[in-house]
Amino acid sequence: MIELIKYNEKLSVLSILEQASFPDTISYKDYRSIEAIAEGIRSFDISGAELLGSVAAYGMLMALYAHDSGDFPVENVMRKAAALMIASNPAAGSIYNSVNSMLNAAKESGAKTSEEAKAIVFEEAKRFHETEKQASVKIGENGSFILEDGQTWLVIGNSGSLSSVGSGSVSSIFKRAKSENKNITVYVCETRPSYSGSRLTAWELQEEGISAVLITEATAGMLMRAGKIDGVMTGVQLLSSKGFALNDTGTYMLAVLAKYNSVPFYLALPSSSIVMTLAYDDELTVPERNAKELVKFFCKQEKPGIVKVYNPAVDITPPELIDGIITEKGYIEPRYSETIPELVAI
């Protein structure tokens, strides 16, 4: 499995796989400051719902290491760093939980010096990173019961090892099913405009020996109507306490199509993507991607000014379209305003 992020403690450098050029080239970009990490997340050079939490954790650590020596107001530095990380992508639930984890660790430790605070936050960043790795394994174990031998499933985006610190959420379920000798075919939406489905998900499934068929998002409805899809499963970038889900643009469309065609629609995610302080859809933020991604196909200069562009990075799927949610803590049934808080409390 390709390692997505590597942290060099001596140099305080975070190296992250350049997803945009994968799989043509396998290369890493070095980030030496929290500001550089924030810009990488904001521009979507760094993406992946299950990756960003770990990235943000190390970003918080780098904010502390930017102060070479002597005591400084640790709490102030940490709070500014947390705000910067959340603002870089407010649609990433794992960032919220990651930075809160770092803040709480520093606060509860009773560290008397900045050096003690750095050591504590470093240990917490490693702990969060390892917890995310283990979560992906448990998601596979908890979700494989949904899949039956011979079924065909539909996915969008990438919720696998190329967008997480472990084996991913959705991909982990398919990998677990394969280990249980279930033959599953997966239709993969190419997921425009990032093409994370075609570049990452289809590649990963094939590498695992899982049958993958690449399609455009526009093909999904036809396949469902023809009875060729047994279920839809997607990852989640952020899940609210009431069950509203932010994920790659096109997810809501698939959920509506699934409901209309009586196809079950499931979410798979680590509990770190659940943000209990956000409840309803009007509280959620939808960031926009670069307009160049859409105009480059008909404008060689890639100048967005040729036409107005709306390029949302995510959309919002309401809870009434979701048939079930798989997490590392267990399976969540509908009545999400009750079942989500119950699961988070475990």
DSSP state string for 191-247: -TTTTHIIIIIHHHHHHTT-EEEEE-GGGHHHHHHTT--SEEEE--SEEETTS-EEE
Same domain as 255, residue 162: yes
Q: What residues pair up with 314 in beta bridges, in sequence order? A: 248
pLDDT at residue 240 in the model:
98
Same domain as 291, residue 198: yes
Sole residue written with tokens 């790659």: 248
* Average pLDDT along the chain, 346 residues, taken 10 residues at a time: 87 92 91 97 94 96 82 84 98 98 88 84 96 96 98 97 92 98 98 93 96 98 99 98 98 99 99 98 97 77 72 98 98 97 95
Question: Is the separation of the CB atoms in 294 and 311 below 8 Å?
Answer: yes
- Domain final residue, candidates 115, 138, 161: 138
Question: Is the separation of the CB atoms in 154 and 251 below 8 Å?
Answer: no
- Which amino acid is it at 297? F
Euclidean distance between CA atoms 311 and 180, whole angstroms: 40
Same domain as 257, residue 158: yes
What's the pTM value of the predicted model, to 2 decimals? 0.94
Same domain as 332, residue 281: yes
pLDDT at residue 278 in the model:
98
Joined together, the tokens standing for residue 314 give 């995510």
CATH of the domain at 82: 1.20.120.420
Exposed (0-12), middle (13-18) or buried (19+): which is 226, by Cβ within 10 Å? exposed
CATH of the domain at 253: 3.40.50.10470
